[in-house]
Chain A
């Protein structure tokens, strides 16, 4: 593999850190402050995008900043998988930045400087997680991500928000400790922490030791990926402002958890060791439980954002399931699902936020007839819902298709059944919202005038919804998610 030394990965991380500092300085001038956010978002995406051509050619971009401990460096190493996650997070940050401005100003939120500052730091560390070349670098950014999102979760400063913030910290810091243990132990066993496509732990310890290590890793990173029964922090964190829920708790933070899980499964342990450990089926059943369980719980939620949160929990487990099945097709499906779910879920969250800003409503039972007041918003919501249920042409069907193919390859029919059941459950908890929004009569107040959200919010909603459809029709559109995903799968040896 060609290794290309380049400062660009570091630049991609730094650009939003610098923006964070500028945001802090220009806190008294809101327009300038938001300009920094938008500027950094655009620059970051372009920097990440500029790396795509060489990575698709099979090169790897590397930047070593300094040695962290003897033998391990603070190293950024962009391979196809890192690029994929980086593109997803930085691309959606642009949409979220516009949306944030509309949302935060629309609700006249307090402490906006803190909000934008933490957001910039969080996205910086997300890119750091994506580009990390070894486990220690990944952990470093992973921890910064946890700490920088905490003020966002507790943003409202109400007792409930503070309680949610505490819960967030308890879950994520405890899991970080578990992760830290696993990383230290891995270092002790293998003497190296650099990611290798196909894993580097094989033969480095007895099967029992490696099994325990694997379980610790998955439990640790899995907390951020919100597996059941360690998912509880995610629905509580929905008290955060909606852009936070949308980007961080549907894309960046939780996907950082999923991404780290996949890094561990494919780049630390590797498929062949995973089959040897005979743990893949345990993991697969474990996440299947989450897929169905979270969907059932979603049915019971009346708060729209909480329902979306449970849906996220369920969908994140699709991604892990794909990796657990140890077949190339399933892995392709799971990687594609990372991006596709991101686009669809962020659309849904954006819609929930727009409804909140325009009408102040959070509960689904109060949303009758809202589609007539906000047709564009609810139209986009319908697109997202269709995608979640896996109905073409919205992109969700494609990743599910590959996941089903993968379970066929693994000769495990049961997982196809689970995926299909989950799709039906998706229909059951999303379609009634769309139905009542468009076809049910509004309460006593009578139909109000059409009042879609401001363009700051509506534009990102429509763009994300449109993207979901275009990606479904042509998965290589724009940034070639499909090709990059194929390159990721090709890089992993040992299937």
Chain B
């Protein structure tokens, strides 16, 4: 039990090599190995969170028994414990979902590297969440990013180009982050987050520190696709194979958002980020622009997957607004929204992937009749969509509830207005799709051309079971949000808030 925080990184890391090695000889072992690894990770994540909750305080793990600040420290506290669990659940679901999808999308010869990268990707995400060391975070960030570039490159059409573009952006972001870490290290001589928190306050006036801080924020901003440095996201996630976008789209940007909160409120004192240097205010105003921009662009997309990609940017903007409130409720809203959005995006990408695979279209205008052929998938899409709009009792409503309370407490009326306007824009987006899906009298659109000889093939259990579970999570998270908020998130908020 005490080794869980380390195991959640070490086990998948090792497993990815095993999968690659065995997979070259025996292709069939890849999927079960991957699934077993991710299931083990779920156990580790749940165990870690359980340990935190029962102890009532963070669980520390010193790698190689080197005491911090010299060694690398892994910490699970109330904040990342919850994010970790959500990540582990969604990674496992994405793993199950990939079974038939991979066979459809990835050539047989590439199955072994695919699954190896798939697990490596999860490793990077878990590691970024669990680590308590600034440099270790960089390493894991790059592990996650490089597996993402490779996985996206396996996609359709111009995917290799999109992956290359993503790599350039991503590397720039990672460089910025690394530079920031370098500044902090030069000033303090420490890389441990908790240690930095102790050392930094007397140095808050230092110019070098502020530059380092700025680099950190920009670097994280690129990785989490914060407007206006989100431009890598739509292409790469749209063109990636469905099984990859189901894994990447819900998780990576949200882990970035978690890292941002970690830096703003744990590595630095909240008073530094909110008052001394009003970084959160600036982030908030950029988020306002980002929400408006991306939700309007999302409206303009006919390609469902690309539309969802812009939606990710919008949701990241909501998290930004929560952070910008600079108060307890806003931060609760932001962290809760990270968890919710992981599930909402997972459900949406799974549904769209299944529609693409079986209904053979991704065009929002060609969905007529999909509810007859794929009732379960359509139902999941509706639940996830309602959650994005913020209709109670789905979880999306409750994160908006806390975010709204936060903006009102901070008397940030513009932020509040944008939150509300954003849900209306999302409502237009989704109800337009629902209308296409469920109502059939669109005489202006000619019936979709179906390739001759293709028959409809039902979605496999491995496809819709994860979807249904995700949808159930969306509703349960909403109904039981009070347990999560007062039981976990209330302790995740830094003291002095």
Taking beta carbons and an 8 Å cutoff, which residues of A are in contact with B? 66-70, 74, 114, 139-140, 143-144, 147, 150-151, 154, 156-159, 161-162, 165-166, 169, 173-174, 177, 180-181, 184-185, 187-188
Contact = CB atoms under 8 A, between A and B. Distances in A.
Interface in B387-437: 389, 391-393, 397-398, 401-402, 404-405, 408-409, 416, 420, 423-424, 427, 431, 435
Nearest 3 pairs of A and B residues by beta carbon: A67-B482, A157-B441, A140-B392
Contact of A140 (B393, B439, B440): B393
A361 to B, nearest CB: 23
A144 B391 CA distance: 7
B446 to A, nearest CB: 16
8 contacts: A74-B479, A143-B392, A144-B393, A154-B439, A157-B439, A173-B424, A177-B424, A181-B420
Nearest to B431: A169
B41 interface: no
A237 to B, nearest CB: 15
Interface residues of B, number: 33
Given A154-B439, A162-B435, A185 B408 contact: yes
B482 A68 contact: yes
Contacts, number: 74
A181 B441 contact: no
Interface in B363-392: 386, 389, 391-392
Contacts of A184: 401, 404-405, 408
B22 interface: no
Interface of chain B: mostly helix, strand, loop or mixed = helix
A159 B441 contact: yes
Nearest to B371: A114
A180 B420 CA distance: 9
A70 B404 contact: no
A143 B398 CA distance: 13
B482 A70 contact: yes
B77 to A, nearest CB: 20
Interface of chain A: mostly helix, strand, loop or mixed = helix
B420 A166 contact: no
Given A159-B441, A173-B389, 15 more contacts: A67-B482, A67-B483, A68-B481, A69-B481, A144-B391, A144-B392, A151-B438, A162-B439, A166-B435, A169-B427, A169-B431, A181-B416, A181-B420, A184-B408, A185-B408
A69 B435 contact: no
Contacts of A177: 420, 423-424
Interface of B: 386, 389, 391-393, 397-398, 401-402, 404-405, 408-409, 416, 420, 423-424, 427, 431, 435, 438-441, 443, 479-483, 485-486, 490
Nearest to B444: A159
Contact of A66 (B392, B441, B480, B490): B480
Contacts of A144: 391-393
B391 A147 contact: yes
A159 B441 CA distance: 7
A114 B392 CA distance: 21
Given A169-B427, A181-B404, A184-B408, A69 B485 contact: yes
Contacts of A166: 431, 435
Contacts of A140: 392-393
A360 B306 CA distance: 46
Nearest to A187: B405
Nearest to B439: A157
A135 to B, nearest CB: 12
Contacts of A188: 405, 408-409
A382 to B, nearest CB: 37
Nearest to A139: B392
B496 to A, nearest CB: 20
Given A154-B435, A181-B416, A69 B482 contact: yes
Contacts of B431: 150, 166, 169
A74 B431 CA distance: 27
A423 B92 CA distance: 66
Contacts of A165: 435
A194 to B, nearest CB: 16
A69 B420 contact: no
Contacts of A181: 404, 416, 420
